[in-house]
Structure 1
Amino acid sequence: MLRPRTLFYILALLFSSPASTHPSQPLPSLPISTNTQPKVILDNDWNPTAFIAFLLPLYYNHAVLGLASDTANSWALQTGLHALASLEIASLSSCIPVYKGSDYPLLQTAHTFQTYEVLHGKLPWKGVFAKENATNEQLGNDPTSGDPRRVVKEAFTTKEHYGFPNGSFAEGSAAEFLVRAVRENPGQVRIFSGGSLTNIALAVRLDADFAKNTAGLWIMGGYVDRFLEQAVGDVLRADLVSDINFVVDPEATKIVLTADFPNITLVANSANGVIPDQAFLDELVAVNDNPLSRLVRANQPTYLPFWDETAAAVMVDREGVVLDEVEVYVDIDTSYHSPFYGYIRPYQAALMPPGLRKVKYINKVNDTKVAEMIKTVVQFPPRDCSELGVGGGV
């Protein structure tokens, strides 16, 4: 339950200037920051509109200790720069640090990924391991394959209401940050993964107590059947069940899903339900024209679901969002010569091989509720770090 900040908004309205761009109607209450609020680290392959995933925990009374970038849809350097740019636009750079993740997955490379496609067929979405395409990059697409250290500035400068960040990464790697944050806050830090699990696997290997000392792990990923197609309107979309977050680093996924986290939640097929149309995006700005609502309206695709945002919604309001879930044992196929390389295998307890652990698998969410949550946090984000009450540095 959120606690209102009625006094804050009364004072804000009293002292706001007539030229203020904020709407005149009453604003939804933001949570009050306290020392007992949940703490979270969000690890993601960030892009120009992925910031909604960290707005959700901020609104729902979480202290965001930091953001980590990973390699999944693009290289960790590029996705980390997106995180920095988003924080600058949101005026949150001074209280939420960004840590760059591992450039490469544990074993997977562009060569092995592309060879795998020759052996087992094309994947509908290739993420970072799509073949390098300079023309696409010049048009504003993030880099794929090639050198993980190269930066494509066009992915920032060609987007409306966006721009290349001025800030820099926090010192240390994402995996080191994860370990340090959990050591300093044992039992308190939630881990959210919206991209590959490389950084989290490295943290598990760096510190044998890391996983068990977290407050749990929430993952966007774990599609049950890669061969299914999902209908969106009259179009069958195979890429809606393409599990690039796991396929880009199957070995890291196996390490993480067999680690001793207090609980693990997988949000996969159930995250396909909220796909914005233009009316949805227009409403964001119509209700409150702010830098983030303008950014989402200009750059959010109307053909892709709010995947990471749905997983974040499950994390911050499970009771209000989840309609059906099941507990199962899961394994990850790490055989390179298998057509299921990188995909999960769910088991009943009676049939599972040794060494697996139980996870919570979300079968269905309240899409209407998730859509309203997304609208609210984009329409009424925190205006700056002063509204959060605590800094995120560890």
Structure 2
Amino acid sequence: MHLIIDTDTAGDDVVSLLLALHTPWVSIVGITINCGNVAFDYQVANALKTIEVAGKAGQVPVYPGARNPLLRPWVNAAYVHGEDGMGEAWYPPVSQTPESEHAVAFLLEASRRYAGDLVIVAQAPLTNLALAVRQDPEFAHRVSHLWVMGGSANAVGNIEPLSEYNFYVDPEAAAIVFQAHFNMTMVGWDVCLESSVLNDADLAEIERLDTPLSRFFLQTQRKTREFNRTQGILGTTHPDSLTMAMALDPTILTKSAPYFVTIETQGLHTRGTSVVDRLGDLGHEPNARVSLQANGTRFKRILMDMLATGSTPIAPPSGGIR
């Protein structure tokens, strides 16, 4: 699998990167950085640090991209992940430096180089991808599969009642991407809240592992765990990691359906809400596969194995790239 990860590296984004970096048969072509969770330069530094922790310093390039949403002021989530995005660990800079090429230029070039054989996992606001579509509408058709962590299937949000953070930050970008005819799977906050939470017992198990990866995990998730308690969530949340796990192991996605999805850009209380037309009332053909259920038990086992051994137990796909 030739993989690009588009990320706003903080909190669970870090864990998602670790899953991909520790799956031997995955070729990570590059990591692209998009405005999102915390200050942009911290996001770049966090991606570089995670690559180093995975033992692959200098082997995976990092491309800085959009520093701001298309039309709106940036909204950060440092209150969730800590100011540095790493649980306020304040790790020193690493030796690897980011690439000078802009993420959007890289996305377009890579989509040509690996046309029909490129998977993108997008776990940030969708500004980089929207800009790539605007520059070259054929970009969407060259991508084998786009996995999007964002939105919610007409269910609860995590920044406003019906709005998930990634789509809320740049709803116009999300609207462009959903209109671009990608072969796409949307993994919403609703499924992630149901199937990706590591509870106190899970976190105690991770503490007992006492490996370099488990210690890194616990540090980077520290502030998120504290924030979640204020929201009634007893544990850490892993929407990006669940999405990555699905991309690597499709058996984790246990129920899905094709629907037409549109993104609300005008609503007073529904900015960035993903409207999933489950009844077919809007009269449009489906433009995304929408996740409805996931195997949380298998997801947790894969994550635990990676933290314990430094390798995921995921076998390469026998039927080609999803």
Q: Normalising TM by the smaller chain, what interval? A: 0.7 to 0.9
Write the distance in 2 (CA, Å) between the matches of 1:240 and 1:373.
31
Write the distance in 1 (CA, Å) between the matches of 2:124 and 2:40.
10
2:197 is matched by which residue type in structure 1? I
1:280–1:164 Cα change, 3 Å: farther
* 2:260 paired residue number: 329
Write the distance in 1 (CA, Å) between the matches of 2:54 and 2:77.
30
Question: In 2, are the aligned partners of 1:314 and 1:321 still within 8 Å (CA)?
Answer: yes
Q: Map of 1:12-31 to 2, 5 A cutoff?
A: none
Q: Map of 1:10-89 to 2, 5 A cutoff?
A: 38-47=1-10, 50-58=13-21, 59=23, 61-89=25-53
Q: CA deviation at 1:49?
A: 5.2
Question: In 2, are the aligned partners of 1:70 and 1:80 still within 8 Å (CA)?
Answer: no
Q: Map of 1:100-111 to 2, 5 A cutoff?
A: 100-110=64-74
Any unmatched runs of 5+ in structure 1? Answer: 1-37, 111-126, 131-135, 143-151, 230-236, 383-394
TM-score scaled by length of structure 2: 0.83
> How many equivalent residue pairs?
297
Secondary structure of 1:372 counterpart: helix
Write the distance in 2 (CA, Å) between the matches of 1:245 and 1:39.
24
* 1:257 paired residue number: 178
* 1:267 paired residue number: 187
Write the distance in 2 (CA, Å) between the matches of 1:106 and 1:309.
26
Question: In 2, are the aligned partners of 1:156 and 1:164 still within 8 Å (CA)?
Answer: no
1:49–1:381 Cα change, 3 Å: farther
2:240 is matched by which residue type in structure 1? D
1:55 is matched by which residue type in structure 2? L
Is 1:177 aligned to residue 106 of structure 2? Answer: yes
1:249–1:213 Cα change, 3 Å: same
Question: In 2, are the aligned partners of 1:282 and 1:297 still within 8 Å (CA)?
Answer: no
Is 1:93 aligned to residue 63 of structure 2? Answer: no
Q: CA deviation at 1:69?
A: 1.2
Write the distance in 2 (CA, Å) between the matches of 1:48 and 1:330.
27
Secondary structure of 1:47 counterpart: coil
TM-score scaled by length of structure 1: 0.68
Q: CA deviation at 1:357?
A: 4.3
Write the distance in 2 (CA, Å) between the matches of 1:220 and 1:158.
24
Q: CA deviation at 1:350?
A: 4.6
Question: In 2, are the aligned partners of 1:106 and 1:198 still within 8 Å (CA)?
Answer: yes
Question: In 2, are the aligned partners of 1:55 and 1:381 still within 8 Å (CA)?
Answer: no
- Per-residue CA deviations over 1:207-231 (Å, capped at 9, x if unaligned) read 22211001110011121346x48xx
Question: In 1, are the aligned partners of 2:69 and 2:169 still within 8 Å (CA)?
Answer: yes
Q: CA deviation at 1:50?
A: 2.8
Secondary structure of 1:50 counterpart: helix
* Farther off after superposition, 85-94 or 176-185: 85-94
- Per-residue CA deviations over 1:272-327 (Å, capped at 9, x if unaligned) read 1322234423433534x432221112332433311101111111111x21221111
Write the distance in 2 (CA, Å) between the matches of 1:43 and 1:294.
25
* 2:220 paired residue number: 299
Q: Identity over aligned residues, as a percent?
A: 26
Write the distance in 2 (CA, Å) between the matches of 1:49 and 1:267.
15
Write the distance in 2 (CA, Å) between the matches of 1:241 and 1:74.
22
Secondary structure of 2:299 counterpart: helix
1:256–1:158 Cα change, 3 Å: closer
Is 1:340 aligned to residue 261 of structure 2? Answer: no
1:41–1:60 Cα change, 3 Å: same
Write the distance in 2 (CA, Å) between the matches of 1:214 and 1:50.
21
2:69 is matched by which residue type in structure 1? P
Write the distance in 1 (CA, Å) between the matches of 2:278 and 2:114.
34
Q: Map of 1:213-292 to 2, 5 A cutoff?
A: 213-225=142-154, 228=156, 242-261=163-182, 263-268=183-188, 269-272=190-193, 273-284=195-206, 286-287=208-209, 289-292=210-213
Q: CA deviation at 1:183?
A: 0.7
Secondary structure of 1:310 counterpart: helix
Write the distance in 2 (CA, Å) between the matches of 1:244 and 1:48.
14
Write the distance in 1 (CA, Å) between the matches of 2:148 and 2:279.
22
Question: In 1, are the aligned partners of 2:32 and 2:63 still within 8 Å (CA)?
Answer: yes
Q: CA deviation at 1:348?
A: 4.9
* Farther off after superposition, 54-63 or 320-329: 54-63
1:259–1:167 Cα change, 3 Å: same
CA RMSD, aligned part only?
Answer: 2.7
Question: In 2, are the aligned partners of 1:107 and 1:251 still within 8 Å (CA)?
Answer: yes
